[in-house]
């Protein structure tokens, strides 16, 4: 039995016959975020063919670098696609509508997926989830991007020490910024909000709390290729950065793209010089996409949709940014004024901040209800004025993201989300003996 990390946030666990049993967050081909993010190392065609035989594929959350529908189509109909039972069950609902086998996992319920492998899904407040995998000799803790609180991780560690003692603990977590943290500009200059050392401190902290034996860098192996997002490559946290800042004495740091034997705990990994990555092919794809984007315009109909989206949070935005929120696209500038609920042409004087974003990305984000994704692209730039507070801009994206996930579309949805969040926050773990067979669940 072994585990292996591939692609970006894909973890595959194979049984003692070396058959794939579980795959997580499949992003195996292509790019995400409007050709901005590309994989550092792509699985080969042979590896993808092997993964098509996997029994279960778990999707932690809806961000496309974890829930990559093109990769899911590539995997095909054979796997059962499983996901956390969130207040809005969007993942299973959509994948089921496409003819796939799906199951939503109840929070804090052990499911048996193989004779000696059980899993437990933990939904979080931010519509993400963690996945705990129990095997005969190891407990694998897949945190991906979820960022649970220290108190929650402490409860998990206490549960493992009391109920699964004697097993090795393997932790996987993202380790590099995937947010607007480095996207702020003031007077055309970069504004540092959070440097690399903070991410490395976080990783050292979680492995100490969890008493981890192994840590595998995860969910951060991307290269930014769009001309307007290449700047972000400088601010990525690399494996070398982690290695230099590694302070966890009990935990062994493994390289990305590692394979770990869950019996002997020997490991191997793919060396950077052997990564499957074709820069010239990628640059050709990016250039073609940018040429297509150049012909896109924000229409008056698009303006109405943007206005409607902004009005959904008008009460909050009137307090946060009463003088307006500016939008700068390739060919147009306009301002949403929360007090009136209207969009006006041009940038108004002393607007709260401005969002610089390509026309195509803004059109798609509004059309398909993923405005919050614009904060992750690395080509979206947030232009501050003298009084702008970056923390309030974080709040802005959180508010719009909650609306994306339908939590604030109605009082009923909001109550359902808050009730679910409050219940799941406690992190109460059932004993492993109470597991449910996922095949018959």
Tell me which residue of 7, 39, 50 sits closest to 278, measured CA to CA.
39
Rounded to 10 degrees, the C-alpha dihedral 11/17/21/26 comes to 40
Tell me which residue of 63, 48, 85, 55 sits closest to 9, measured CA to CA.
63
Tell me which residue of 72, 75, 17 sits closest to 48, measured CA to CA.
75
Tell me which residue of 41, 33, 35, 51 sits closest to 8, measured CA to CA.
41
- pLDDT one-digit tens code per residue, 346-373: 999 889 999 999 999 999 999 999 999 9
Tell me which residue of 7, 21, 54 sits closest to 221, measured CA to CA.
7
Q: Which residue has the tokens 């004779």?
A: 115
CA separation for the pair 109, 47 (Å, rounded): 31
Q: Taking 80 as the threshold, does the pLDDT of residue 236 lie above it? A: yes
Q: What are 105's two structure tokens? A: 């996992």
In DSSP terms, 171 is beta-bridged to: 141, 215
CA separation for the pair 340, 311 (Å, rounded): 9
Q: What is the mean pLDDT of residues 12-21?
A: 96
Residues with Cβ within 8 Å of 29's Cβ and at least 6 positions away in sequence, in order, are 42, 48, 68, 70, 71, 74
Band of pLDDT at residue 432, cut at 50, 70 and 90: confident
Q: Taking 90 as the threshold, does the pLDDT of residue 246 lie above it? A: yes
Write out the residue limits of the CATH 3.60.15.10 domain(s) in the chain: 2-277+423-437
Domain 300-409 bears CATH identifier 3.30.1300.10: no
- pLDDT one-digit tens code per residue, 146-177: 999 999 999 999 999 999 999 999 999 999 98
Instruction: Check residue 184 and give its pLDDT.
Output: 93
CA separation for the pair 109, 123 (Å, rounded): 11
Pairing mode of beta strands 252-253, 214-217: parallel
Q: Taking 80 as the threshold, does the pLDDT of residue 440 lie above it? A: no
- Other Cβ atoms closer than 10 A to 86: 25
Mean pLDDT, rounded, of the chain? 95
- pLDDT one-digit tens code per residue, 25-65: 999 999 999 999 999 999 999 999 999 999 999 999 999 99
Write out the residue limits of the CATH 3.30.1050.10 domain(s) in the chain: 300-409
Query: Does residue 299 sit in helix, strand or coil?
Result: coil
CA separation for the pair 110, 115 (Å, rounded): 13
CATH topology of domain 2-277+423-437: Metallo-beta-lactamase; Chain A (3.60.15)
Instruction: Check residue 438 and give its pLDDT.
Output: 85
Q: Taking 80 as the threshold, does the pLDDT of residue 221 lie above it? A: yes
Instruction: Check residue 159 and give its pLDDT.
Output: 96
253 class by beta-carbon count within 10 Å (0-12 exposed, 13-18 middle, 19+ buried): middle
- pLDDT one-digit tens code per residue, 42-53: 999 999 999 999
Residues with Cβ within 8 Å of 375's Cβ and at least 6 positions away in sequence, in order, are 179, 180, 183, 397
pTM: 0.95
> With contact defined as beta carbons under 8 Å apart, do 257 and 190 qualify?
no
């Amino acid at each position: 039995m072994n585990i292996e990390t591939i692609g970006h946030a894909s973890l595959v666990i194979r049984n003692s016959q070396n058959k794939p049993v579980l795959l997580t967050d499949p992003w195996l081909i292509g790019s995400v975020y409007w050709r901005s993010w590309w994989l550092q190392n792509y699985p080969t065609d042979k590896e993808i063919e092997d993964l098509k035989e996997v029994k279960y594929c778990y999707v932690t959350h809806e961000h496309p670098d974890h829930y990559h529908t093109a990769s899911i189509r590539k995997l095909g109909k054979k796997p059962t696609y499983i996901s956390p039972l969130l207040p809005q069950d969007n993942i299973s609902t959509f994948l089921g509508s496409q003819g796939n086998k799906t199951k939503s996992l109840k929070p804090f319920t052990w499911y048996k997926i193989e004779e000696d492998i059980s899993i437990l899904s933990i939904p979080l407040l931010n519509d993400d989830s963690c996945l705990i995998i129990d095997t005969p000799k190891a407990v694998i803790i897949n945190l991906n991007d979820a960022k649970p609180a220290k108190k929650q991780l402490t409860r998990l560690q206490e549960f493992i020490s009391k109920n699964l003692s004697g097993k090795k603990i393997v932790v996987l977590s993202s380790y590099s910024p995937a947010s607007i943290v480095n996207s702020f500009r003031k007077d055309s200059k970069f504004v540092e909000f959070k440097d690399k050392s903070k991410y490395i401190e976080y990783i050292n902290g979680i492995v100490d709390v969890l008493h981890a034996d192994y840590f595998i860098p995860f969910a951060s192996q991307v290269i930014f290729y769009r001309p307007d997002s290449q700047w972000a490559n400088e601010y990525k946290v690399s494996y070398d950065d982690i290695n230099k800042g590694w302070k966890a004495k009990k935990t062994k740091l493994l390289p990305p793209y590692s394979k770990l034997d869950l019996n002997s705990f020997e490991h191997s990994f793919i060396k950077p010089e052997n990564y499957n990555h074709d820069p010239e092919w990628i640059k050709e794809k990016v250039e073609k996409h940018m040429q297509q984007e150049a012909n896109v315009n924000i229409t008056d109909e698009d303006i109405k949709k943007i206005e409607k989206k902004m009005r959904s949070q008008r009460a909050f935005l009137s307090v946060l940014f009463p003088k307006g929120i500016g939008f700068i696209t390739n060919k147009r500038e306009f301002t949403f004024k929360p007090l009136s609920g209207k969009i006006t042409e041009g940038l108004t004087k002393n607007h709260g901040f401005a969002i610089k974003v390509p026309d195509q990305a803004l059109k798609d984000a509004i059309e398909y209800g993923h405005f919050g994704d614009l904060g992750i692209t690395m080509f979206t730039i947030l232009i501050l004025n003298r009084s702008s507070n970056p923390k309030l801009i974080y709040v802005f994206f959180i508010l719009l993201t909650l609306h994306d996930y339908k939590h604030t579309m109605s009082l009923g949805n909001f109550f359902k989300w808050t009730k679910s969040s409050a219940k799941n926050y406690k992190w109460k773990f059932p004993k492993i003996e109470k597991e449910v067979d996922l095949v018959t669940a």
